[in-house]
Amino acid sequence: MAGPSPSPHKPRRKAKRVAGDDGFSGGRLTPAEPLVRQPSFPLAAILWPARGTTSQWELLPLILMAAGLFRWAAGLWGYSGFEKPPIFGDYEAQRHWMEIATQLPTSQWYFHDLQWWGLDYPPLTAYHSWLCGKIGSLINPAWFELYTSRGSHDPALKIFMRATVIASEYLIYIPAAVVFVRRFSRLSGVASWTASVALVAILMQPATILIDHVHFQYNTVMLGFVLASMSSMLAGRYLWSAVYFVAALGFKQMALYYAFSVFAYLLGSCLFPRVNIGRLIAIAAVTAISFAILILPLVIGTLNDVKRGVDARPDLDGPRSPLPLFPRVVDYLDTEAFYYPIVEQLVQMVHRVFPFARGLFEDKVANFWCALNLVVKLKKYPSELLQKGALLATLASITPPNLILFFRPNKLLLPLAFATTAWGFFLFSYQVHEKSVLLPLMPMTVLLAGKHGLGKDTRAWVGFANLLGCWTMFPLLSRVDLKVPYAVLTLLWAYLLGLPPTSLSAYFQDGSSLLVQWGTALLHGAFYLTMIMWHVLEMFLKPPVDKPDLWVVANVGVGAVGFSLCYLWCLGKLVVESEILPKSWFRKKVKAKTQ
């Protein structure tokens, strides 16, 4: 009796991953080779047991718990202004805004005692402060009593304030980061486990933990809204994208760093590849409505105060001064009309949010203007001239990436375009602070979730930008005795991602040009060596008496050069990946390199 006929199906040979770019030594699938993979940096090794055996819904809670544990542990240290009279620091500013929002009428929020941490953020920050202050007052009303609670260092208050940062982050930033990574990685063809590794790296970003959870602020709320806006763009939900970005602007005016990229992408998506007037009108309408809703509580509160006879400026002696931004406006407005208090509120809010009167810069920051000031003393020039110079330089730096995003509204280009634009703002715009480096670092860091994101080239540049950013914030952190969390968090992140000074493995990989590998390694190595030497000198060698800011000035100069390189790298990657230049141009370049 004949046996069964052979099956026509031939089993597919297993594949091997070689020269990887996804967190382990394996990337491209090549047939006829066995599957051999191993982690290529510590973070991938730590999550290795979860690969293929744990669902993402089991892994995600573990990631979120670990991220929360590090945040709370970092918060055990001091904070900005701890026992630093007379005006203390950012911690006191945030606490004070909570008592302003809960203890004063709405119309007085932007006018009250401007010399003691006057409110200088948009309305959504005030509403957030009101909510946190109301909750805190239920626990201990003494924390938010006007005047008597100034400079309070109550340990229980510290626990509450730290908890508000974590709660705000887990309500806004963390969900936005999780959704964005999932969408961006899927669009980029990245496996879910690799995306989980990238998510951990993003959530463990040292700069955000150091500033928000150690130094003390709520930057991740604004960054979370921006990530939600970008995520909505990835999903094609353009109206929600506009809503989320208005919320980001409503929380912190620094979100303007991304405004040109949001505008360029949304407008480009309405015109390319075909004109969609309906979408354009809908986006414009939703944006206008969102801004109206944002200021509505402020308007209603002001009208209610007028009705009750509450004076917006009770501490003002003598006749009321004109509107601070536009003194001649009073010549055209009826100061007795019902709408005048609203105009006064909105103008004062804009005046507080955009402090042009403070000058080009207040402190030493690693951007172009502070670095230039080391050679040419800029303060001798008129303020108007410096404002125009900053405007022109900023426009020149942000125009190329946004033209690319406008003509090529490709979803995968969003992080690069946002990062390039934010770097341009950080380097050249007006009134930049050290903490503003968080804005270009966020979109640059989420590149880890994209194609080749955990590959050595992207990981090296993203790591370089983050570690350099933390280093430039060291003078700010050291002033409030936060050197230890700075060292622990930055070195931990460098170790997890296989970056200097703990490892050089991120700079050498199979299949890429030796010139590029060695060039990047030597370039970054020079900066890392400089940073290490700077720390040694700053620790053991006092600056000359006639140059007390020598080490800070050196920090500014080195940081500005390094950030300029990050801007150029992001712009170069954006040009290449957008394919906006003719392909024949790239072929000529490749041919020239191989000859």
The residues, any chain, with a CB within 8 Å of residue 485's CB and separated by 6 or more, are 74, 77, 210, 214, 477
pLDDT at 14 (0 to 100): 42
Name the region of 39 (left: φ>0; alpha: ψ -120 to 50; beta: rest). Answer: beta
pLDDT in tens, 37-46: 678 899 999 9
pLDDT at 198 (0 to 100): 97
Confidence of residue 339 (pLDDT cuts 50, 70, 90): confident
pLDDT in tens, 303-331: 999 999 888 887 754 455 566 666 666 67
pLDDT at 211 (0 to 100): 97
Report the alpha-carbon distance of residue 454 to residue 198 in Å, rounded. Answer: 7
pLDDT at 322 (0 to 100): 61
Which is more confident, 581 or 297? 297
* Six-digit token string for 595: 């000859």
Report the alpha-carbon distance of residue 545 to residue 290 in Å, rounded. Answer: 54
User: For the residues 555-579, what does the mean pLDDT come to?
Assistant: 97
Percent pLDDT > 90 in the chain is 70
Choose the weakest-confidence range: 61-70, 327-336, 345-354, 398-407: 327-336
Confidence of residue 10 (pLDDT cuts 50, 70, 90): very low
pLDDT at 153 (0 to 100): 92
pLDDT at 239 (0 to 100): 98
CA distances from 330 to 104, 246, 298, 341, 559 (A): 26, 29, 21, 12, 45
Exposed, middle or buried, 25 (CB in 10 Å: 0-12/13-18/19+)?
middle
pLDDT in tens, 214-259: 999 999 999 999 999 999 999 999 999 999 999 999 999 999 999 9
Residue 59 clears pLDDT 80, i.e. is over it: yes
pLDDT at 27 (0 to 100): 39
The residues, any chain, with a CB within 8 Å of residue 94's CB and separated by 6 or more, are 129, 161, 216, 217, 218
Residue 4 clears pLDDT 70, i.e. is over it: no
pLDDT at 494 (0 to 100): 97
Q: What is the mean pLDDT of the chain?
A: 88
Contact by Cβ (8 Å): 57, 47: no
Which is more confident, 362 or 322? 362
Residue 290 clears pLDDT 90, i.e. is over it: yes
Instruction: Return the DSSP state at 18.
Output: E
The residues, any chain, with a CB within 8 Å of residue 382's CB and separated by 6 or more, are none
CA distances from 40 to 21, 45, 91 (A): 10, 7, 40
* Six-digit token string for 457: 């080239």
Confidence of residue 441 (pLDDT cuts 50, 70, 90): very high
pLDDT at 517 (0 to 100): 86
**Nearest to residue 181, comparing CAs of 213, 224, 141, 150?**
224
Report the alpha-carbon distance of residue 105 to residue 100 in Å, rounded. Answer: 8
pLDDT at 83 (0 to 100): 85
pLDDT at 16 (0 to 100): 41
